[in-house]
Amino acid sequence: DEIVVSNIGIPSKELYHAGDRPLNFYMLGSMGLASAIGLGLAMAQHRQVVVIDGDGSLLMNPNVLTQIAALQPSNLTVVAMNNGAYGSTGNQETLACKCIDLELMARGHGLQYTAKAHTGEELVAAYNKFKDETGPGLIDMVVRPVNEPVGEIPLSPVEIKERFMESVLSREA
């Protein structure tokens, strides 16, 4: 029953094709804003919110981590898919590839609950632990740097927004 917000580009396409559902919000328009959207959703309602963000997006908008730490929504977990590259724009390396540890960056911005995962099992274990914590968390999920080809999302941005909003509002009642 979690709300899932996914980052621009390939992460949204992968999520759609792995398991589309009305409570998934596919961010199609702005790199660096998925975690900010997730923060707003976490503050507005009580359901668990999971953001699937990218290392490049977090490096583009790191101040969102400070906002998350300051506002402390206990129902928010950010999963940073860290492939060390801007995967949706041609796999140019990010600084997370060589010199920035996203887990340590999140701690430096004030997030108390952080973890690094290299396998699906580690990701699930960290997420399940964070759901029981009293504050937000970030999981630095280290993945390989090249994306497999994936199809487009056959929904328009307006369809995504309207379906998502209807689903969130109907489940609030």
- The label of the residue with tokens 């976490």 reads 42
| Whether residue 173 has pLDDT greater than 60 | no
Identify the burial level of 163 via C-beta atoms within 10 angstroms of its C-beta, where 0-12 means exposed, 13-18 middle and 19 or more buried.
middle
Q: Where are the domains of the chain?
A: 3-172
pLDDT score for 98: 77
Q: Tell me the CA end-to-end span of the chain in Å, nearest whole number.
A: 14
- The label of the residue with tokens 């503050």 reads 43
pLDDT single digits (tens) 137-164: 999 999 987 778 899 999 999 999 999 9
CA 172 to chain centre: 22
Query: Is the whole model's pTM more than 0.85, yes or no?
Result: yes
| Whether residue 172 has pLDDT greater than 70 | no
Q: Which fold has domain 3-172?
A: Rossmann fold (3.40.50)
pLDDT single digits (tens) 35-88: 999 999 999 999 999 999 999 899 999 999 999 999 999 999 999 999 887 777
Phi, psi of 132 (to 5 degrees): -95, 0
Residue with more model confidence, 130 or 19: 19
